[in-house]
Amino acid sequence: MRGDLVLVRPIITEKSMTGTNSGRYTFAVAKAATKQEIAQAVAESFKVDVVAVNTLTVKGKVRKVGKRVGKQSDWKKAVVTLAEGQRIERYFVEGV
């Protein structure tokens, strides 16, 4: 998988932003991406050393619109831990 296809977008929430203080950054990634591919993509994109990658699959919510019932797609989330003292500066910029 190509690096630009692995990382979909950063996850900017209150909980994920508290993790950035300890070097943990959260990304939405491709469902088929492996931990090794995610680590390589983050290392190449942001020029940092990746220590660990934790992944989880987020189940899509069921939504009702009138009588119709639909389901949002499932997606994959990755929490990437960087080496001590390293940061991703572009993580906070909107539209990256």
pLDDT level of residue 89 (50, 70, 90 thresholds) = confident
CATH architecture assigned to 3-84: 2-Layer Sandwich (3.30)
The model's pTM is 0.85
Within 8 A by CB and 6+ apart from 57, the residues are 31, 74, 75, 76, 77
* pLDDT tens column, 11-70: 999 999 999 999 999 999 999 999 999 999 999 999 999 999 999 999 999 999 999 999
Burial class (CB in 10 A: 0-12, 13-18, 19+), 48: middle
**Domain map of the chain by residue range?**
3-84
Of 54 and 94, more confident: 54
